[in-house]
Amino acid sequence: MINYATEAEVIKRNEIIAKARALYVFSGKTRNITDALRAYLQNDAGPDEQIELYISTPIIFTLNQVIDKKRPKCEDCGHKMKLKLHTSDINGTRYNSSWLCSFCGIEHYSDMTAIDWIKEFTDENRE
């Protein structure tokens, strides 16, 4: 049985990542959010802030659940695109997310985070 992450868990994770980013990425100590999160969890995180270093499968499931009906289609081939998190383009520029067509390889980069997408798609669903 799969334990889906709740929206609150996803929000909490995002807040912790934001703190790690502020402390370790904006300060220039690292450009890698995974390294920043690792350092934050080792040095700064409170007992209620212990989260998994790598984004867990249940959070991906939650994301996919929320966005599935609104998933954009590739303008070239019409396949439904896949959301990737913490990605970088061919020049090494980092983005919070991207939409990838795994069929023809087109990728659209975005600064929106996982939680931004969840909010975006959840708000649309309320209309």
Q: Using CB under 5 A, list all residues that contact Zn ion.
A: 74, 76-77, 79, 101, 103-104
Q: Are the C-beta atoms of 58 and 69 separated by less than 8 Å?
A: no
In whole angstroms, the minimum distance from the beta carbon of 87 to Zn ion comes to: 17
In whole angstroms, the minimum distance from the beta carbon of 117 to Zn ion comes to: 19
In whole angstroms, the minimum distance from the beta carbon of 65 to Zn ion comes to: 23
Whichever of 9 and 107 has its CB closer to Zn ion, that residue is: 107
Whichever of 34 and 110 has its CB closer to Zn ion, that residue is: 110
In whole angstroms, the minimum distance from the beta carbon of 110 to Zn ion comes to: 17
Whichever of 53 and 104 has its CB closer to Zn ion, that residue is: 104
Whichever of 5 and 101 has its CB closer to Zn ion, that residue is: 101
Considering only CA atoms, give the Rg of the chain: 16
